[in-house]
Each structure stands twice: as structure tokens, then as C-alpha cells.
Amino acid sequence: SGEELASLEKTGTSLYNFAFSHDGQILVSAAYSQNSDHSEITLWDVVNAAEILPESKIEGTTLAVSPIGETIATGGYDAPLRLMDFNGQVSLTLDEEPKPVIDLAFSPNGKILASATMDTSGEMGLNTTLKLWDTISGEILHTLEKNNGYNRITFSPDGTQLATATS
């Protein structure tokens, strides 16, 4: 109908990333907070248009929500790459070293996480790394590196292919 159902707003923040939970009941957002000068991840109850307060703070600048269960992948400039539940409890730390995470994507079955991260600047410009992670064991399944690299990543609906946008 084109009618606005709700407006989910948090004063003093600038939203730049968001995704629905697998059942559409929760919206997870990443926003820069002008009040605290860092990024924050917020969970929203879509039905009641209200913020959900997790037990622990969820940190990161980039996020992806698993298509199964209540798992969020987060990472960022000042936060390690982690898998956590909707209460903010870390279930798996994939990469301890905080580095700029450009994009994250879960496979349709939730068993693989693709991450595109910014590494050091090389002779040919910015280097980025694409990694495929096993979401149960945390094992790296595959790694690709590219100068001037990976900007966006997404899995095909059947999970057999991964598409990337490069510079």
C-alpha cells in the first residue's frame, strides 16, 4: 500500500547498515553515534517499533544476520570479527585483530560466512581479503586477496556461488 508502518529512530545516530532476522521480527542496524563517537549495533522489535536491549553490548561497523537462527556476524574498525547471538553473547571469534570490514554475507544455509576486509595499503593501492569461514568451527575454508579489492559480496540463493563487486 506504500503506507509507512513505523519509524525506528535513535537520536544522535546516522544509520548505514541494517538487516532483518530470518523471521522478519527483528531488524538489526549499525549506526554511527555522534554522542559516543563510535559505531553501535542496535536490535529493533519490528512489531512494536521498539529498541531491544541485549544483555551485552554488540560492537562493530558491519553486520550480517544469519538466515537461520539468531546469529549476527559483526566486525569493524575497532571490533574483531565475531559471531554472536541476539543477546550479545559471543559464540565464536573468527578474527581477533580488529580491521576494517567492508562487507559480510551468510550462505543461505548459514553454514558459511563470507567476509571482505581491508588490509594494508600496498604498492598498487588498497589490498582487501575475502575469506570464507565455517560458522560452526571458525575454520577458514578459503582465502582470496585482491588489490583495490572486494567491495560487496553475496551468495547465490542455492549457496553454490559467491558474487563479488570489485574496484
Q: Which stretch, 6-15, 33-42, 62-71, 97-106, has highest mean pLDDT?
A: 62-71
**What was the pLDDT predicted at 132?**
97
Q: Once rounded to an integer, what is the mean pLDDT over residues 122-144?
A: 84
Do residues 63 and 30 touch, judged by C-beta distance below 8 A?
yes
Identify the residue with better confidence: 51 or 79: 51
Phi, psi of 52 (to 5 degrees): -105, 125
**What was the pLDDT predicted at 124?**
47
Residue holding cell 575454520? 139
Cβ neighbours of 9 (radius 10 Å): 10
CA distances from 96 to 17, 112, 138 (A): 22, 18, 12
Secondary structure in 3-state letters for 103-123: EEEECCCCCEEEEEEEEEEEC
Phi, psi of 20 (to 5 degrees): -85, 150
Q: Once rounded to an integer, what is the mean pLDDT over residues 11-27?
A: 86
Identify the residue with better confidence: 147 or 42: 42
| Contacts of residue 4, Cβ cutoff 8 Å, sequence gap at least 6 | none
The sheet that has 81-85: what strands, in order across it? 62-65, 71-75, 81-85, 90-95
Closest CA to 91 of 105, 77, 110: 110
Do residues 81 and 101 touch, judged by C-beta distance below 8 A?
yes
Q: Once rounded to an integer, what is the mean pLDDT over residues 106-134?
A: 83
